[in-house]
Structure 1
Amino acid sequence: MRFTHTEMSADLRDATRKLLTREWSVDAAKRSAAGENDDAEKLWKHFASLGWPGIAAPSAYGGGSGSLLDLAAVAEEMGRAVAPTQLYSTVVAAEVLGAFGTKDQKDAYLRTIVDGSLRATVALDEPALTAQPDDVPVRAVRNGGWLLTGTRWFVAEAVSADVILMAAATSGGPALFIVPTQTDGLTLTPLATTSGPGQAVVTLSGVRIGEDQIVGSKGAGPAVLRRAREWAQCLQLADVVGVGAYVLEKTVAYVKQRIAFGVPIGSFQAVQHHLANMSTELDCAEMLAFEAIELVDRRDPAATIALARAQSFAPAAVKRATLTAHQLHGGAGEVLEDDLYLYSNRAKRAELTWGTPPEHLARVAEELAAEAGVS
């Protein structure tokens, strides 16, 4: 079974590949991974000029009223090219504001997100806190508005963001707050990671924001956080599917031209077995990922199980594929002159971001037990 793109998502996929072929390169990806930001900034300007931050935003605010599937087509191509992920964080913020924000919040933030002049990110879960939306290390109390205190690690694209949608615990349950990065008391500490720049530790030391900076009506916090979490996970799943597709194509091409004992190594049965296993696992990863994306897009009740199932398998499968690719490339796959390390780093980041396979499988078991009425 293979997922078939809609006409619009197929057009976006093709347009993204053409743009990245023209405006991005392996060298740019290596510079970005090393901490240089100029290439990523140029690429963002191209995205903004095409209106891609607003692909799925409401047309009333300048968006394209597209779908998560449309964005997933873009994300898949960005994974193939190991392009910067600023777009993902921004479109997740746009989706949350479009779905739950007040008119004033949409006027103040959504319009500028859509036209690319404002970049946003979301600070949701940390790796050890993926299962329960109440497990948030930032607290918010009412004090002439809201007073936020705490530390959030591994906030994606925080370094380049103008606004952070910050999850915090309140007396009424978890909620999401709009926090400009230039607010007094907010400190960003960039993290050095193997998958490139962007992540940061966000420290809030008595950050004061207005009463109107909370997203969603009273009691809507869990639904707001769930929507943000689902969209963020879906875009990363699409991204890692693109990583796997490129790695398989690259490896197949390499074993056809690498000669050993007078013949291409791809003629050896052991190599063929490795490639067959890679292809099978990557097909399964693609199927599970896009099944989850489609169900989330439709807001189907089955989306929770589908997403947990996809998360339990796809990132780990792509990570395994990159390791097999390194093995089949031999020494050529272990040097920085090659681009394979960019893809194995990207796959490992995806595997770690939203929790471990056992955590996701436990979520599947919990949901199935609940459906069956088993306590």
Structure 2
Amino acid sequence: MAALVLNEEQQMLRDAAQGFLGEKAPISQLRRLRDSGDETGFSRDLWKGMAEMGFVGTLIAEDFGGSAFGNVGMGQVFEHAGRNLSASPLLATAVLGVSVLQLAGSKVQKQTLLPAIAEGRLLTALAVDEKLRHAPASVATTARRHEDHWVIDGQKSFVIDGHVADKLIVSVRTSGEQSDREGISLMLVDRDTAGVSVERTIMVDSRNAAIVRFDNVQVSADALLGELDQGLMVLDKVLDIANAQLSAELLGISLQAFEVTVKYLQERKQFGVTLGSFQALQHRCAHLFSELELAKSVVLKALVALDEQDPEAPVLVSLAKAKSCEVAELATNEAVQLHGGMGMTDEFDVGLFMKRARPVQALFGDYRYHADRFASLRGY
């Protein structure tokens, strides 16, 4: 197992992400997107810039135009996306889309789609969940074989960036009952295919998800990604990669909320002294600092395990997601409370960290989901 420190290349990527996102995608940009009611929900110019910087191709193999910097490298980008609340389709396309294609795509699918993603020309979205809570094995959306094509019927919810995706990656049931782990397949569907309807839903963090409905949608036989009925095996690996990156984003949100709060306590005066001089508030900050240090370690451990294809990676990913959810809840709650009444106003940024943290915590499994999965994987 490699040491839990960044190598020189990963540190350079971290510095590049810090500089680029801090300048091109700061919190002020999120406010502009929100207040203008932007139809896309992110800046196309920003996405083009992220592709030029190589962020979009971080997980893509070099043969297909990427840098293959791995999950640790991408984690540095996500941490700073969390710090700046940067809105982009990085998760939906550069993590979820890329991971599915690399794990299950045919040679033709990889050669056609991965270079287009790396160049910022193609957006994807993963349509998995159908219930209020994350349950990837519960699939009622069906795909039935008819002559030389597939016919898809059903509905997916909470599809991140589904309203702008060029390609939808959809989990469908091709055999078995609704909650069977066997019998799930993955299909690649163009968003503009007849019978596909996409309803944009703006979330509490001003980001975009979608409800996607499939009504007698016909796709060709080569729309299948990977093996028939074995899609959940691929999906488990993809969701581990996604949750590790979401953990890195939650870490970034927590760290920035903490740093902003400490600065406020050092400047804000009450009764003639700074708030930071009160011992009770120092204790709360010290506790949060120790929790952040624990989160840093477990998030990096999970990212390293994925890159090394460690058999323990699923356990470590669920540990990282559960811990980062717990810490993000504490950090954002404390940030708002320690800012006092001003923390509840839109004038201060701390409330925006809380609004972003809550959907990220819930996406692809919240604290309870991953604590339970960790326990199950450990044999409890």
The whole-number CA distance in structure 2 between the counterparts of 1:22 and 1:162 is 28
Say if 2:143 and 2:172, in contact at 8 Å, map to a contact too. yes
Cα drift, residue 219 of structure 1: 4.9
**CA displacement, residues 236-294 of structure 1 (integer Å, 9 cap, x when unaligned):** 11111100111111011110000111111000001101111211222222222222222
The whole-number CA distance in structure 2 between the counterparts of 1:193 and 1:63 is 31
The whole-number CA distance in structure 2 between the counterparts of 1:361 and 1:69 is 23
Say if 2:41 and 2:207, in contact at 8 Å, map to a contact too. no
Cα drift, residue 104 of structure 1: 1.3
Q: State the percentage of identical aligned residues.
A: 29
Q: Does the C-alpha gap of structure 1 residues 126 and 259 become closer, same or farther in structure 2, counting only changes over 3 Å?
A: farther
Amino acid at match of 1:184: A
Match of 1:135 in 2: 138
Following superposition of structure 1 onto structure 2, how do residues 114-133 of structure 1 map, counting pairs within 5 Å?
114-125=118-129, 128=132, 130=134, 133=136
Match of 1:373 in 2: none
Other structure's SS at 1:84 match = coil
The whole-number CA distance in structure 2 between the counterparts of 1:38 and 1:369 is 42
Cα drift, residue 137 of structure 1: 3.4
Amino acid at match of 1:122: L
More divergent stretch after superposition (261-270 vs 108-117): 108-117
Match of 1:266 in 2: 276
Cα drift, residue 355 of structure 1: 2.7
Match of 1:169 in 2: 173
More divergent stretch after superposition (36-45 vs 142-151): 36-45
Other structure's SS at 2:378 match = helix
Query: Which residue of the other structure, out of 61, 65, 71, is the alignment partner of 2:64?
Result: 61
More divergent stretch after superposition (147-156 vs 89-98): 89-98
More divergent stretch after superposition (290-299 vs 228-237): 290-299
The whole-number CA distance in structure 1 between the counterparts of 2:379 and 2:33 is 45
Cα drift, residue 202 of structure 1: 0.6
The whole-number CA distance in structure 1 between the counterparts of 2:286 and 2:130 is 35
The whole-number CA distance in structure 2 between the counterparts of 1:198 and 1:3 is 34
Amino acid at match of 1:307: V
Other structure's SS at 1:140 match = strand
Say if 2:162 and 2:198, in contact at 8 Å, map to a contact too. yes
The whole-number CA distance in structure 2 between the counterparts of 1:184 and 1:117 is 22
More helix by share: 1
Say if 1:128 and 1:355, in contact at 8 Å, map to a contact too. no
**CA displacement, residues 14-50 of structure 1 (integer Å, 9 cap, x when unaligned):** 1111112221232211123444247522211211222
Match of 2:13 in 1: 12
Say if 1:169 and 1:175, in contact at 8 Å, map to a contact too. yes
Matched, 1:225 2:235: yes
Match of 2:326 in 1: 316
Other structure's SS at 2:154 match = strand
More divergent stretch after superposition (144-153 vs 44-53): 44-53
**CA displacement, residues 204-244 of structure 1 (integer Å, 9 cap, x when unaligned):** 11111111111113454222111221111111111111001
Gaps of 5+ in 2: 176-181
Gaps of 5+ in 1: 371-375
The whole-number CA distance in structure 2 between the counterparts of 1:177 and 1:39 is 26
Amino acid at match of 2:301: E
* Number of residue pairs matched by the alignment: 368
Other structure's SS at 1:322 match = helix
Amino acid at match of 1:66: F
Q: Does the C-alpha gap of structure 1 residues 317 and 48 become closer, same or farther in structure 2, counting only changes over 3 Å?
A: same
Match of 1:148 in 2: 152
More divergent stretch after superposition (335-344 vs 117-126): 117-126
Cα drift, residue 296 of structure 1: 2.1
Other structure's SS at 2:342 match = helix
Q: TM-score, normalised by structure 2?
A: 0.92
Please give the root-mean-square deviation of Cα atoms over the aligned residues, in Å: 1.9
Other structure's SS at 2:49 match = helix
More divergent stretch after superposition (32-41 vs 156-165): 32-41
Say if 2:93 and 2:117, in contact at 8 Å, map to a contact too. yes
Cα drift, residue 129 of structure 1: 5.2
